[in-house]
Amino acid sequence: MNFRKPRDEDPEINLIPFIDVLLVVLIFLMLSTTYSKFTELQITLPTAEAEKLRERPAEIIVAVSGDGRYVINHTGIDGRSVEALANALTSAAQGQKDPVVIISADATSAHQSVINVLDAARRAGLVRLTFAAQTGDGAPAR
C-alpha cells in the first residue's frame, strides 16, 4: 500500500505540442492556398442617343409558369418536352421575318424550364432572344 501523502501540485499543461501542430497546419494552409489577385476594371460605358423604334419587331412571347407550364403568345402548350416547344415556336414564327423571342419566366420557375425554351428556340432556328424583367416599381421592362 502506498502511505505517502498526495502532492498538492496542479497538473501542468504542455503547450509545445499544441504549437507544433498549429504551425504544421499553418504551413499546410499556406502551401495549399492559391493566391489570385482580383483586379477591378474601372470602365465608363458608352452612351447612345437613339430615337424610339417606329415599328416594333415581330415578337413571340414565351411565358414559363412556376410549375413548368408554357404559354406561347397567350396559347397554352400541350406537353413540356423540348420537341413540343420547338414545334409551337416554329408555328408561331410562321410568316414573321426574324422574330424576337421574349422569355417571360416566373421568378420561382425551374432553371431547366427556361433552358428548355432556349433549346427549343435554337431547334426552331430562332436566334434573337431576350428576357423580360420587372423594374423596381413592378412595371414590366423589356
**Domain spans, the chain:** 59-141
58 Cβ contact list (under 8 Å, min separation 6): 93, 96, 97, 98, 99, 100
For domain 59-141, say whether CATH 3.40.50.620 is its number.
no
pTM: predicted TM-score of the whole model, two decimal places: 0.57
Alpha helices in the chain (DSSP H): 16-32, 82-92, 111-123
Instruction: Tell me the pLDDT of the chain (142 aa) as tens digits.
Output: 677 776 677 777 888 999 999 999 999 988 887 665 554 445 555 666 666 656 667 889 898 888 888 989 888 888 888 899 999 999 998 888 889 999 888 888 888 988 999 999 999 999 899 888 776 555 555 5
